[in-house]
Amino acid sequence: MIKKLEELFPVLKAQKSKRLVAAFANDAHTISAVSQAVDMGLIEATLVGDKEIITSVCKQENIDINKFHIVNQPDEIQAARWAVRIINEGHGDMLMKGLVSTDKYMRAILNKENGLMSPGAILSHVTVMENPVYHKLLVVGDVAIIPLPELKEKIAITNYLIHMAHALGIELPKVAILAATEQVMPKMVACVDAALISKMADRGQIKNALVEGPLALDVAIDTESAEIKKIKSPVAGDADCLVFPNIESGNVFYKANTKLAGGEQGAIVVGARVPAVLSSRGDSIRTKLYSIALAAISAK
């Protein structure tokens, strides 16, 4: 079982390499992160973008351009579409956003005719966090894509987190469906949804995980709080996965992990036929590397 994000790297080195396709990879941030991932033996890489600019950036950053397969496509929209096409043709296992704007990147993924979505699939976001005061990794969602998930979407998020936990070597992940309280309050939608999802897991409709909810955050991750509140559950105080009731709560937790707690994290977009890295230019190279590694370890 992987307990630290850095442990992703030796695991990937021991596996067959997956190929990453970077959409409109014209910037030093993307090229440097992908270059390090290739040098570490984590992935192979195809860069789609303006070949002249990519060549120039590689010279400036002292990066050997020959480690990449380059597809020349100077137009931003076409580069995103071409990256998706490469994957659909079977020549890539994961996607990464380069300098292309997020909306154009997402449109290429969501395109009904030529995108990466299967009918009925739900796009979501999975983050794996390493917090200095928690005893293991936390797999959380959704903090970035679905603003106010309904029950169907929360079920999908729960299954995505379970899938990621399995990829990290957690055989029976403990999943906490969060709300403001561990009491089942009929007037609180988050509580009702959490209770329904928990019962679905009990009945085998959600498999290969221990699912409990509703749980308040303190009860989910702190054994002492669970004991004081007399919550008897294998999930309480020892959660591997946290399902947030809305994007506000998830996003605040996500940012507090790094900005206040000094934690590390990686994140990917899930629900498409391949995992997709949606990193920000403000992310550190380390965060980008962790995100690439998560995409690689979860790719089929």
pLDDT band at 19 (very low <50, low <70, confident <90, very high): very high
Same domain assignment for residues 189 and 130: yes
Q: Which residues have CB under 8 Å from 163's CB, separation 6+?
A: 270, 298
Same domain assignment for residues 224 and 180: yes
Number of domains present in the structure of the chain: 2
Same domain assignment for residues 245 and 136: yes
Same domain assignment for residues 77 and 169: no
pLDDT band at 163 (very low <50, low <70, confident <90, very high): very high
Cis peptide, bond prior to residue 214, ω within 30 of zero: yes
On whether residue 276 sits in a domain, the answer given is no
CATH number, residue 39? 3.40.718.10
**Residue 286 and residue 13: Cα distance in Å, rounded?**
17
Same domain assignment for residues 9 and 98: yes
> Cα–chain-centroid distance for residue 66?
29
**Residue 150 and residue 246: Cα distance in Å, rounded?**
9
Q: pLDDT tens digits for 24-74? A: 999 999 999 999 999 999 999 999 999 999 999 999 999 999 999 999 999
On whether residue 93 sits in a domain, the answer given is yes
Which two three-digit tokens encode residue 198?
């928990």
Last residue of a domain, one of 120, 150, 174: 120
Mean pLDDT across the stretch 215-240?
96
- Asked if the model's pLDDT at residue 300 lies above 90, the reply is no
pLDDT band at 233 (very low <50, low <70, confident <90, very high): very high
pLDDT at 280: 73
Same domain assignment for residues 15 and 128: no
Same domain assignment for residues 111 and 176: no
Same domain assignment for residues 132 and 246: yes
Rg for the chain, CA atoms, rounded: 20
User: Phi and psi dihedrals of 9, rounded to 5?
Assistant: -65, -50
Q: pLDDT tens digits for 244-288? A: 999 999 999 999 999 999 999 999 999 999 999 987 767 788 899
Q: pLDDT tens digits for 91-147? A: 999 999 999 999 999 999 999 999 999 999 999 999 999 999 999 999 999 999 999
On whether residue 269 sits in a domain, the answer given is no
Same domain assignment for residues 134 and 60: no
Last residue of a domain, one of 120, 147, 182: 120
Q: pLDDT tens digits for 189-214? A: 999 999 999 999 999 999 999 999 99
Q: What is the mean pLDDT of the chain?
A: 96
Last residue of a domain, one of 89, 120, 151: 120
What is the SS3 assignment for 246?
Answer: coil
Range of the domain at 243: 124-259
Mean pLDDT across the stretch 72-88?
97
Same domain assignment for residues 171 and 138: yes
pLDDT at 207: 97
Which two three-digit tokens encode residue 101?
């704007």
Q: Which residues have CB under 8 Å from 151's CB, separation 6+?
A: 193, 196, 197
Same domain assignment for residues 109 and 135: no
